[in-house]
Amino acid sequence: MSEFPPSTVLQCGRHSLDLSRPRVMGILNATPDSFSDGGRFNAIDAALAHAEHMLAEGAAIIDVGGESTRPGASPVSLQEELDRVAPLVERLVNELDVLVSVDTSCPEVMREVTALGAGMLNDVRSLRRPGALDAAAASQLPVCVMHMQGEPGDMQRDPHYDVPVEDAVTTFLAERVAACETAGISRDRLIVDPGFGFAKTLEHNLRLLKRMDALAHLELPVLVGMSRKSLIGKVLGRTVEERLPGGLALATLAVERGARIIRVHDVGPCVDAVNMTWAVLQEGENQ
């Protein structure tokens, strides 16, 4: 088992997140599919109820996103992203007092959700958009930087790496960590993510998970997101709705390899899988 990082408490606005053991992050989409019936206000009520359910099931963080990052997804305008995310973040913070992470690459959204009380930023583009490093630095919040080549729209077009994928990912993340530190984001605010499913073939994804210990060199908490992703569908021949058992196997392996935040749709089953795995890993550790 990997021993990184030994113990870390992240200060997430007015919430503390103890990552001395793995935690589960519940996914809350604020994309058009979730607004498809009943209009925006009903959808926000439904999203709040879903967040409450995920918290009851043991989620430590709720990750809100207004832009679909699925392969081939088209970009959304800044105004649309703000309209989708801001009212939801505001109500989550005020009504549920929950640690809210916001999945965004836009500096304007980062600033707005920080003002509304979000506790973490999650950027699949690793703060590479103009102004994103400065906005994240000013927020004082922890930030998750993720590995991706290209953009969600084109990332799955023949992804290729000149070195083993785990080395490419580690080198990329080390560069982004250095850029963050230069911009004034200290290491105690950083989380890294290998970006499963982002610009990676099935073989890249499987190898990356098997060799995830390579990320230990970074000495930072690791977040992973594999829930319902196509790598499970490709191996098992399952539809999106049938991918939970495969996802639990992947979550278990990720925890065994040192991941400290597991980003998932199905919180309850994942909390059990994570806690069971952790109990085995901890056996005899404190004697």
**Helix (H/G/I), strand (E/B), else coil: 122:** strand
Instruction: Give CA–CA dist 171/80, Å, rounded.
Output: 34
Q: Could you say whether residue 223 binds ligand 9MG (CB under 6 A)? A: yes
Catalytic residue, chosen from 125, 228, 243, 263, is: 263
Q: Which of 34, 104, 114, 122 binds ligand 9MG (CB under 6 A)?
A: 122
Long-range contacts: 13-21, Cβ < 8 Å, 24+?
A: 13/99, 13/117, 13/118, 13/119, 13/140, 13/141, 14/117, 14/119, 15/99, 15/119, 17/60, 17/61, 17/99, 17/119, 17/120, 17/142, 19/221, 19/260, 19/261, 21/260, 21/278
Q: Decide if 229 is catalytic.
A: yes
Q: Which of 10, 124, 132, 259 binds ligand 9MG (CB under 6 A)?
A: 124
CB of 193 to ligand 9MG, least distance (A): 4
Q: Which of 144, 215, 231, 232 binds ligand 9MG (CB under 6 A)?
A: 144
Stretch (H or E) spanning 43: helix 39-56
In angstroms, how far apart are the furthest CA atoms of the chain? 56
- Nearer to ligand 9MG by Cβ, of 204 and 263: the residue is 263
Annotate 186-198 with b (16+ C-beta within 10 A) or e (fewer). eeebbbbbbbbbb
CB of 196 to ligand 9MG, least distance (A): 5
- Nearer to ligand 9MG by Cβ, of 221 and 225: the residue is 225
- Positions in 74-103 near ligand 9MG (CB under 6 A): 103
Catalytic residue, chosen from 23, 176, 229, 243, is: 229
CB of 63 to ligand 9MG, least distance (A): 7
CB of 134 to ligand 9MG, least distance (A): 20
In this structure, the number of other CB atoms found within 10 A of the CB of residue 21 comes to: 14
**Helix (H/G/I), strand (E/B), else coil: 266:** coil
Q: Which of 225, 246, 247, 258 binds ligand 9MG (CB under 6 A)?
A: 225
Judge whether 177 and 218 are in contact, CB under 8 Å: yes
Q: Which of 146, 148, 155, 192 binds ligand 9MG (CB under 6 A)?
A: 146
Q: Decide if 243 is catalytic.
A: no
Stretch (H or E) spanning 144: strand 143-146
Q: Could you say whether residue 65 binds ligand 9MG (CB under 6 A)? A: yes
In this structure, the number of other CB atoms found within 10 A of the CB of residue 46 comes to: 14
Q: Which of 28, 121, 196, 247 binds ligand 9MG (CB under 6 A)?
A: 196
CB of 282 to ligand 9MG, least distance (A): 25
Catalytic residue list = 229, 263
Report the interface residues with ligand 9MG, using CB under 6 A: 65, 69, 103, 122, 124, 144, 146, 193, 195-196, 223, 225, 263
